[in-house]
Structure 1
Amino acid sequence: MFARSALTRPFAAASRACLFYTTEAAPATPQLLLRIKADVKDAMRSKDKERLAVVKGILSDLTYLEKSPQAPEKVTDSVIQVLIQKSIKRRQESVSNFVAAGRAEQAAQENKEIEMLKVYLPQAMTEQEIEEEVRRVVKEQGATGAKDMGKVMKELGGLDPARAPKKTVSDTVKRVLASL
């Protein structure tokens, strides 16, 4: 009685016509993120619950950062490393609180987690290396005193914050400019 036609299946024709093509390349995934995800799988396979909790915590912090209003436009290895540094700092504060409260077992657990997190960080610049870089920039900029701190810090903005924490760089700049 009724013949099958496009009218009896209205979405079949529409679904074939809605193919989208894009010329944009997919954003590259940071190598550190790939390493962290691989470590999650390894920890699950080896049933290492402590390591799994720490690594999943990193991924959770990253997801939280991506959804926050202060989210960077692109997640890079450097962004992830700064996030890990913040996590280490939180744990170090916890260790000092646990020690003050006489809870050595919890402090030891936090120290263990700190060591697990340090695996993902690059080798940090030493105070001497930071000071050499600061002195080079001060010489290039012709800085003469504390009033030139902004120019020097702007030039030093290219330093990787995962290798040279901004607080350390700022303190070194203040010290070097004060000695001029």
Structure 2
Amino acid sequence: MFTTRAFTRLAVRPAQASAMAPIRSALFYTTEAAPATSALLLRIKADVKDAMRSRDKERLAVVKGVLSDLTYLEKSPQAPAQVTDSVIQVLIQKSIKKREESVHDFKTAGREDQAEKESKEIEMLKVYLPTMMTPEEIEAEVRRVVQEQGATGPKDMGKVMKELSSLDPARAPKKDVSDTVKKVLGSL
């Protein structure tokens, strides 16, 4: 585990000293664990720099928005213990879903220019996502787990879902997995 050394200089003033007395400094030494940084987060930060250098305002706004969403997530009470690529990818998927809803709303309102802008932002965000599992791949994985667990019907859904929790939510959204499990267990 890597550690960083942080030196903090604090100004300490004795209670009896006058206002003109020189400030004494104390040097404190602390050792903190270096924050684990995911490869995707490093890539996003590099893309911010690239967008700034190329003066690409649209891309810069989108990528900075991802970093902002990540900061809000880290400060929230339900923050994950560690920010992994998967956590960031799920966050990006949520952002894409919001934009897709906006595209639909803009199109129904007759705002094609805004809908096109949102569509471009979606394409910029999709660069950070892994390839999604197809419904057939999800179903094959669910059937494999159902067979391993010896599940016989819908009452075994919890057991099957627990086993499937190891699937990457960025590649196979939990809702899709859950729907597939219901379908497969309902047909038994």
Instruction: Compare the two structures and name the one with the higher helix fraction.
Output: 1
Instruction: Compare the two structures and name the one with the higher strand fraction.
Output: 2
Instruction: Identify unmatched segments of 5+ residues in structure 2.
Output: 1-20
State the AA in 1 paired with 2:186. Answer: A
Secondary structure, in 3 states, of the residue corresponding to 2:59?
helix
Q: 2:55 aligns with which of 33, 47, 52?
A: 47
2:43 matched residue in structure 1:
35
Instruction: Identify unmatched segments of 5+ residues in structure 1.
Output: 1-7
Residue identity over aligned pairs, in percent, reads 77
Write out per-residue CA displacement over residues 43-97 of structure 1, whole angstroms, 9 at most, x where no aligned residue: 0000000000000000000011111111111111111000000000000000110
2:176 matched residue in structure 1:
168
**Number of aligned residue pairs:** 169
2:85 matched residue in structure 1:
77
The aligned runs of 1:80-95 (5 Å cut-off) are 80-95=88-103
Q: 1:115 aligns with which of 102, 119, 123?
A: 123
1: distance between equivalents of 2:34 and 2:75? Answer: 19
Q: 1:139 aligns with which of 127, 137, 147?
A: 147
Q: Which moved more, 1:108-117 or 1:63-72?
A: 63-72
TM-score after normalising by structure 1: 0.89
2: distance between equivalents of 1:142 and 1:130? Answer: 18
Secondary structure, in 3 states, of the residue corresponding to 1:19?
strand
2: distance between equivalents of 1:130 and 1:141? Answer: 16
1:9 deviates by 6.7
TM-score after normalising by structure 2: 0.86
State the AA in 1 paired with 2:138. Answer: I
1:111 deviates by 0.5
1:10 deviates by 7.1
